[in-house]
Structure 1
């Protein structure tokens, strides 16, 4: 019944849209931009069917469909703009009558958000963290929802003092409830970036931010990012050419779970068997490299060949060396390197760019710095600490006066700040990636953005101008026309609430920054949202915040008198940085809602609701940790477990002291720092050179438009901290999965790739949670030393010099 109703409604809507906007299909995505989402598109079996069990499913029916009645091909205007990978996963049928925000949704959201917010926030104070995987929620919510649908009586409950009510059990657990629970957990069962200034103020300045101020600030920072999503959603959410690979991965698992729950078939059974088999295998395997057999995390073959040769050890070591010919069998090292996500999700061209950055960084620049004349400061080559001239760690806290200003006398005694050479070029390329994101998006994304603006203007002139998705005529957007769109005033209300809250806090002197810098933080965040979201939607690469925001704040604050408290830099970074982080994550989850045909208003509510639940839990964890682990976190007392180190907070303090107390002008006058500001210039010039090469040779086999300088520069800035293991293994894996299997075993790849991605990530996170619970949450239990867990070097690189 529902299927026939949807088909009749779609047919009617299609006819109405053709009458309203007969030229809607004139504007087409330009080829060079379209190739970002699928650089091997010319080799795709465009009209080939995929065998699903004993049947064949035509393009457009989704991996989940056993019914081929909705089959479409590239000649259908409703399907041709949708990327090929998306067609294989997303269902093109919908039932608008399925329940969404039910009693079950609210109960399970509370059940999964509260412990997730606790665990995620606590992990950011520890050396070894226990990640709270969203796949854990997605798997468990499926079974918990089915259990509630089976055992809760279908009782109608009236809301007191109103004429409204709800049913405790409105029927079978629906896929839309399942998706909304998971989206709420993604919004609330996480940590809050604003924990950094709250922690720094308490630990290093003995200032406790008022609990109400802290909670409202944490909420306002998140809401600022969510409201900023409105800036980019018209460009990045509804346009079908943007796949959002992480959203696609979760959609694949949702569709498989839905089929197994509602319409079990041979294919869905196979997919679930594969998923749980790989999940169990990864959980068991990860106990080896993470606990019992650490040598598997970095297989340094050159150390085995020449164990007493210091040079060979340095070249081959993955921890403290170049990592040449070094392999890793630890999923923590193989996946999620450099913020680029799983090798099952990230396009092959992105992983090539990342690997080339690794090669240049670790196999070219590091030996040049160690054995050649790159850099005059030879201490701490791969260290991420601020150092003194003699190579010892700089006592940054000693630079602070009781008034939170720079102690000039101590600074003169200790001397200028130094950084290891790799950290220096990391800062240079970090600056370059920031401006490159703007330049690259302006040069390569402008045609698409311009086309979108034209569509929006055409939409606003039409009688149906109230709906954003009317500017697109693909099947997914047609299905979403059954639901009311999120009105712009909802986003404006969120933005206004956060703006008023933070304005009041800054004006009352609770947030350590001058008000005008808050306005600039909002402006910079708004500018960066679209180019960074565009990059993430196409490449699965999320540009890290880095230290650019702290640098900008340092430049501003040192141009005026007062407000020299280093906490201010983290306040500024929380606003400006989380604006684009949260906006990207909100758009990613809204894309899941788009793929799964969830009413946009329900998706929006679930995101705000999840965050609102999680933030008070985050704050409670912050206060508990600061009250019970203070001496460990400040270093006054050594933690016997070596877990409560607060490395994230300490690193943020280091950046703040550099940029706020010492100041960029004094810092960049030092010889080793003088070249760093030119990174911003490089980020502007290099994309222009690549763009000119692309325009001059548009059909070159070198594919200049895939030489993304933002990803390249950002990857070059990510390889500090003594770790160079895992990148070679990741590249080999990406070649097998995203190049060879995609090109030559596409049927198998289409059926299982995203299921495998979910299984590997979920298995790894489950294992981390188990290790934390079994060996680290209470009494820390260390693995006895043996051949595969040597006390001196797990890699057996015994001649490696510090």
Structure 2
């Protein structure tokens, strides 16, 4: 653990183990491995700086992987049965392709015309660092361009014109702005050994498994053999929940016992209720929303589960059965919006189609906007999480941040660095700050052109863009620290919608554009830094990483924009389910939520929701609650510094535990927590040797098996309309239809019992 008082230990208390490095330290430096045990057990403290990285085969496989994933994921996102292919697929497929190219390409040097530069068609065996850069390329393609949703709702839902150049610049600038924020914070979020990005260790383990030669122990398996065994098993098994028996993705026992009880189904439904007694037999249910639990530190799992149980099993039931905000008129758990009668809110009644503005008269004659109490309080929780993150980081990490940001690259060592940071500083040139600054200046200028030019089609004024950038810059560091230590990211989508909704109401496109510049540029910065940490662990030259990430972002955004524009302009009535022919797959399932959010926040606005004009003014107190919540923990940690467990209480994690709900459900948290505690508590402490060798490999194998079977099922069966056998297990629901029913006496909803009023 670091000696500095503000450098709080970020992993659970563990027995100290000495990692014996093969690295020879020179110049009188003392060898010091990572202070995080999971990193010591996973990342080798070695480097070979002579390996070629920017090879021809890297560029070919990298750009192809990036473009292919960008096209496929965007194309299928518009279809009813959407498909998403992650970078792990490219990570596995490109390994044999890279080795094939190394075996067949001629060993010949090619000179570049009019320069002294040359490159070899085949610089030697396909190596690990090339593979890392190819996977980074693929990850750029797999990551969606959030701004595409703005283009979708303008053209497909609002049926308005949008300049194609403005749309293209929007998709590019929202992704590239994040490079500026990343450059400003990389000393803290990459160079510091305490910023260890746990999810990346799964990738590191898989890279080592695929490239390092290992001798099988007697009676045991090498990591590659173990990976192949688990991959094959996961691949074969996912045929069951993915095609033949989807119902095992969530089994809610209570609903099979009490088929006619609304209360029992609210308590027992894993998809629409509290999930008491529910379980899943599907790995995809475990990892869908909360990332791999095996790569999440135990303290983060415990904090998240504490927050989940407090919110779902204490706060929400108390609010619902106390009938706060007329909670019983609406489902126990729902992300939809309702009117005062308990039915779906009719947005068309409060939007003037001709002027594209809020219809106040229509609103006054109709109804205020209502939400389920779960959804309403989840907004409050997101407010509290945001302020708690700022408060927590300011209290616990301000000293460390100050030292890290004032240290130069040559002095970053000892307690502020580890062997990995020192190796990178010694062997490779860092990315100059002016590269980041130049990108920021150019992209900000293009962003101004996008918003203020083209007839102001996006509605966002210059001051809105500046404010969005300020919010993104300010929150990148505190939210990055939380993500780099716990695997969980706090979202800015709600707070950005709220800010611009107050300042510039009645303009739906201004709202979503502000949200995209403020929220997505921050997430893109954190994605850049996370990938940069992978390169840091794998000892890839930083300038090569930067170049690949930048080109990958440009290629991905261009391909995704081109694919989206092509579909939107070539398929008649795309996304309009009322006009599409029966059975048409082009229903755009993900964009309807985005469209509704533009209406709720951009047209109705937060003033008519979270002030006295609306239903939920008390929710604003959550901002203050979150700001003050970390203070008692910080005071206790200062008073009792010997009690390490106090420092592991993470209020942003506890408050933000349910930030993924919706769309995540109770079953996702229950399954995720059970797997995480079993492996990172029981297995880690009882069989640490096994855990160190196989745990991350197991996570990678299970993820890869599910991904490849999902791809196979889609292209061979589902895309051709071939469904599984018709039986009760084919339903993807958990057979708890009454869990979504209101319990307010007199409220009538189709398919639900009507409760009688007490006399």
TM-score under structure 1 length normalisation: 0.86
Match of 1:474 in 2: 418
Give the secondary-structure state (helix, strand or coil) at the position aligned to 1:265: coil
Q: C-alpha displacement at 1:656, in angstroms? A: 2.2
Retained in 1: the 8 A contact 2:609–2:615? no
Aligned partner (choices 61, 65, 73) of residue 120 of structure 1: 73
| SS of residue paired to 1:677 | helix
Q: Which of residues 168, 177, 183 in structure 2 aligns to 1:215? A: 168
- Asked if 2 retains the 8 angstrom alpha-carbon contact of 1:426 and 1:718, the reply is no
Runs (5+) with no aligned partner, structure 2: 742-759
Supply the RMSD in Å over aligned alpha carbons. 2.6
Could you report, residue by residue, the CA deviation over 1:28-79 in whole angstroms, capped at 9, with x for unpaired residues?
454774421x2122x34x13xxxxxxxxxxx144xxxxxxx5499xx99422
- Closer, same or farther in 2 for the Cα pair 1:472/1:423, shift >3 Å? closer
Relative to 1, partners in 2 of residues 1:451 and 1:801: Cα closer, same or farther, differing over 3 Å? closer
Checking the alignment, whether the CA contact within 8 Å between 2:332 and 2:740 is kept in structure 1 is: no
Cα distance in 2, alignment partners of residues 471 and 504 from structure 1: 45
The 3-state SS of whatever aligns with 1:132 is coil
Q: Residue 407 of structure 1 aligns with which residue?
A: 359
| CA drift at 1:393 | 1.7
Change (3 A) 1:714 1:660: same
Q: Aligned residue pairs: how many?
A: 731
The separation in 2 between residues aligned to 1:175 and 1:648, in whole angstroms, is 37
- Note the 1:147-226 alignment, pairs <5 A: 147-226=100-179
Distance in 2, Cα, partners of 1:638 & 1:432: 42
Are the equivalent residues in 2 in contact too, given 1:379–1:390 (CA < 8 A)?
no
Query: Residue in 1 aligned with 2:375?
Result: 423
TM-score by length of 2: 0.91
Say whether 1:782 aligns with 2:723: yes
Unpaired stretches in structure 1, ≥5 consecutive residues: 1-26, 48-58, 62-68, 559-563
State the shift of 1:189 in Å.
Answer: 3.3
Residues 663 and 728 of structure 1, relative CA distance in 2, 3 Å threshold: closer
Q: Once the two structures are superposed, what CA deviation does each residue of 1:146-186 show, in whole Å capped at 9, x if it has no partner?
A: 00000111222232343432211111112111111111221
On the 8 A contact 2:512/2:602 being kept in 1, the answer is: no
State how far apart, in whole Å, the 1-side matches of 2:413 and 2:285 are: 40
Q: Deviations over 1:189-234 (max 9, x none)?
A: 3210111221122123333332222222211111111221012111
| Residue 102 of structure 1, aligned match among 39, 55, 59 | 55
Change (3 A) 1:752 1:590: same
Q: Which residue of 2 aligns with 1:756?
A: 698
Provide the residue aligned with 2:619 in structure 1: 676
Paired residues of 2:249 and 2:285 also in contact (CA < 8 A): yes
Does the residue aligned with 2:730 lie in a helix, a strand or coil? Answer: coil
Question: Is 2:561 the counterpart of 1:588?
Answer: no
1:498 paired to 2:472: no
Maintained 8 Å contact 1:322/1:362: yes
Q: Where in structure 1 do 4 or more consecutive aligned residues deviate above 6 Å?
A: 468-471
Structure 2 CA distance for partners of 1:113 and 1:325, relative to 1, 3 Å: same
Question: 3-state SS of the aligned residue for 1:319?
Answer: coil
Contact 1:322/1:366, CA 8 A, preserved across alignment: no
Separation (CA, whole Å) in 2 of partners of 1:326 and 1:606? 44
CA contact (8 A) 1:286 1:330 kept: yes
User: Could you say what secondary structure the match of 2:193 adopts?
Assistant: coil
Partners of 2:273 and 2:332 within 8 A in 1: no
Q: Secondary structure at 1:157's aligned position in 2?
A: strand
**Equivalence for 2:404:** 452
Q: Which residue pairs with 2:734 in the alignment?
A: 795
Offset of 1:541 from its aligned partner? Answer: 0.9
* 1:417 CA displacement: 1.1
Pairing 1:325-364 to 2, within 5 Å after superposition = 325-337=277-289, 340-364=290-314
Aligned counterpart in structure 1 of residue 577 of structure 2, from 612, 628, 635: 635
Sort the Cα spacing of 1:443 and 1:641 in 2 relative to 1 into closer, same or farther, 3 A: farther
**Where does residue 269 of structure 2 map in the other structure?**
317
Distance (Å, rounded) in 2 between the aligned partners of 1:666 and 1:425: 16
Residue in 1 aligned with 2:746? none
Equivalent residue, structure 1, for 2:588: 646
Match of residue 556 from structure 1: 503
In 2, distance between residues paired with 1:714 and 1:539? 12
Structure-2 separation of matches of 1:446 and 1:318: 40
Most deviating of 356-365 and 385-394: 356-365
Distance in 2 (CA, whole Å) between partners of 1:364 and 1:600 is: 48
Q: Residue 554 of structure 1 aligns to a residue in which SS? A: helix
User: Aligned partners of 1:796, 1:570: CA distance in 2, in Å?
Assistant: 36
Cα separation, 2, equivalents of 1:683 and 1:431: 7
Match of 1:53 in 2: none
Residues 676, 700 of structure 1: alpha-carbon distance in 2 compared, 3 angstrom cutoff: same
Kept in 1, the 8 Å contact 2:492–2:518? The answer is no
- The worse-fitting range, judged by mean Cα deviation, of 94-103 and 364-373 is 364-373
**1:396 and 2:338 matched:** no
1:470 and 1:366 map into 2 onto residues whose CA distance is 47
CA contact (8 A) 2:452 2:460 kept: no
Alpha-carbon distance in 2 for matches of 1:368, 1:785 = 40
Cα distance in structure 1, aligned partners of 2:551 and 2:323:
56
Asked if the contact 2:51–2:127 (Cα under 8 Å) also holds between the matched residues in 1, the reply is yes
